[in-house]
Each structure stands twice: as structure tokens, then as C-alpha cells.
Structure 1
């Protein structure tokens, strides 16, 4: 366009485009930041550790660790939930899991998450247990009589040893807990004196379970119950109840079993879920 004096007038138009919303990209960045922080604290811990701990780290590279075991048996999502819970609550214990050998006897009461506890129980006794209950400080399950004793007697069944091996795998690593074993019998099912049969059953099971304890901080109690049935039939069973003590041996409050990692904090849960999704859906590198 020409001006009045005949000169050229240049009009420059500047288009300003507002940046698009960040969406969920900040969550990905936050997850990467958390991963970097994990690595940083791990390095700091190694620098301050003694020779024994460093030897354990060296052993990690030749021995499968607890983390690898958990990924194999619980899957990606449950293992990540457990790791996040340990990281937020007990960072040093979280790092210790990376160097603990796979053959370490786990303490099921320290698994932290109810879903992980249930998955572990399913792996160990899922084909045996008739009833399973898990609360913040208690694990309870029942084994039907047919897997333990000949019908109507206290004579061990053919599969007794195998079943008790699985049960002892759960009780072996316990610490600061009480294990209660309760033999429940119904009079219609018993040959002879029901009370004597119930006592003999709980004594045998109790002795086997007690031999599995690796910690002196675990106590055993034994009970028996004889019930009459007015009608119908019910199968005898042995109930196992594992309950945390009010405090640990060093006077601290015990770690409780939680329903989820973040409870009701939805924002934190969203960040975590995004991280889990990324790891779960990631394709292995060839």
C-alpha cells in the first residue's frame, strides 16, 4: 500500500497462539522425577553403608531378589503398589528389598497392602482354604478337615504333610505376632469322643506350626471347639488366625495392612496410576 508521500507502507501482522493445556504430561514428568529421587537416595544409602551391606549389593547381581520374586508372583501392578507404599512409609526398607535374596522368608504381616496379602495367600493356599479374611492387623483362614485328617478321627490324611508345608510357609517369617489355631469339630462327624479328637488335632497342627517360627517374638495359642448340629451337615475345619501384637519387640507401632496405597487422596492416586499404566503397558526392549 502506498502512503500519501508515495512511500511503501508495510503492515506486519503478528498472530499470537496461546499454548495448549498441559493435560496429564506433568504426571509423567512427576513420575520420572520420583524415579530419579529413588535412584539418588539409593546411591546415598550405598555410600553410607558398611561392607556387609555392600556385599549384599554385590550378591544381588548373582541372586534373584525379593523384587524379582514379587514381579513374578504378584504381577506388575501389585508389586508397584507395594513398592510405592514402602517408599513413602519406610524408604530404607524399600531399598533393602532390592538386595534381599529371593529365598528370604517373607513376613506376610509386613506386606503392607491387603491386595498383596490376598494374592500371596492365593498363591500358597488358594486351592485349600475354605475361608479367608484380612484386616489391618489380622489374617484368618480355614483349612477343611478333609485336607488334614481322616474323617471322624485325628489320624493325619495322606496329604497332611504337603498341606502343612504350605501353611508353614505363611507362618515361618512372622515377627511380633500371635498365631491362634482353633480345631472346630461337629459331633455328628466324629468317631469316638469329639473333645479328644478336637484336642488331638489341634495339638498335632500346633506342634507343626510352632516348628516353623523363625522369630522368638511369635507366640502360639491352641483352642478347640465342639459343636452339635441339630440338622444338616457341616465339615470340620481348622482355623488359623494371625494377629499383630500391639507393639514390636523394639517398642514401635507395628506396620498395618492397608486397603490401598493412597487411601482417599485421589490426586496422588491418579499420579500413581499413570505411572503404573506406563510400566504395565511398556513393551520390552529387544
Structure 2
């Protein structure tokens, strides 16, 4: 009888098995190296992010250390001044009385200055959103009116017109100069957006408006890494900004805040 069907010899079976084993081994090796490559890329990206976060944290800590050193130096200077002021020279009773009076007066002046500074900070906090540009415009207009009324009667018509033109140009130049200068403060940097949003929301709950800016820096490997920085709004008057920053320092215990001019 003749047998029907497909018949393979032992040689063909061994070749087929060898091909299947080779293909399976090739697929396994390819998948292994591909997964290893992805793992190494993720590891390097994580290292870059952590290095940037460490760099920001180190810069913030270094600023804190410099601020603490400055505070310690100021405290030592104040203590040395107090010690020197308490020194009494023997044999000079009148000088002792006068020096003791001067020391008492200086102490009262220092305490009064501290109280005035605290009251000024509270006042500036309440009026931090006042439009300084409108105030300067009203001041310039009032000054212009007073100067025109004072010199109007002792000037000729040509001199009056020229004087008005000069005063108008000077007032406009002053207003332009005031409008050109703007300042803002860089508060603190964060490696992640979540931490930055938590900080900004905490300040908003306390009635302090801040702006979150996205920054981009390059690592030592040349890769771009994004980080986030909290800054204040722009101020036309630098002294108001300094007072506003002092309020944030007292509430958030921040140090090393940098003021930048636009």
C-alpha cells in the first residue's frame, strides 16, 4: 500500500528545529538590548533632573548661608557697639552722665526706628497695589500749575509760552524715566511644577500675589532641562518692592532673594 501525506526526513526535521531555535535566540537578544537601551536612557534623564534639582537647592542653601553670616556679623557689630557704649571712664563723672544719656537716647531712637519700620511695612502691605504712575502724574500736574501761577505775572508772553513748553517737556521726561524703570524679585526655584504650584497657592492664600515662570537650563551633557521659578509682580518703585520682599521673608522664612531691574 502507498502512504499518503507529507513525510520529512530526519535531516529536514533537524534543520527546521535549528532554524526555530536560532530565530527565538535572535528575538530574545534583540529584545534584551532594546530594553537595556531604554533603561539606560531613563536612568540618564533621571540623573540630569536630579542634578538640576541639587544645583538649585545648593544655590538656595548657599544664599541662605551668606544671609546668615551677614546677620551674625550685624548682630556682633550691634553687640560691640552696645558694649562700647556702656564703658565708663574713671574720674570723669560729668562725662559719664552725658554718655549715659546719649546711650539711652540712641537706644530709644533704635527702638523707635524699628517700630516705624514695622508700621511702614504694614502700611505698604495694605497699599501695595496703588498705581504709582497716576500719583506721579498728579504730582507733576500740580507742580506745573503752581509754577505757572507763580511766574505768570512776571514774564512776557513769549517767555510764558517758552516756559510752559520747557515745563511740559521736563514733566514728560520725568514721567518717561519713571515708567522705564521696573523691578521684580526672584523668590525661589523648584525642580518640579507641582512644588512650585504648592508654594504659589500658599502665598495667594495669604494675600501675596506671585508669578510662576518656566526656565530652561542646559546640563553638563548638553541636554535642556526645564525648572520653575516664583517671582513677584513688577514694581515701579524699588523701595516698595524691598518692603514687599521683607513681608514675604517674614512669612515664608526665605533668604537670598534677588531683585532684578527690567
The bucket for the TM-score relative to the shorter chain is under 0.3
TM-score by length of 1: 0.26
The two structures have a TM-score, normalised by structure 2, of: 0.28
Query: Which structure has the larger Rg?
Result: 2
- If asked which structure has higher relative contact order (CA below 8 Å, sep 6+), I would say 2
Higher percent of residues as helix: 2
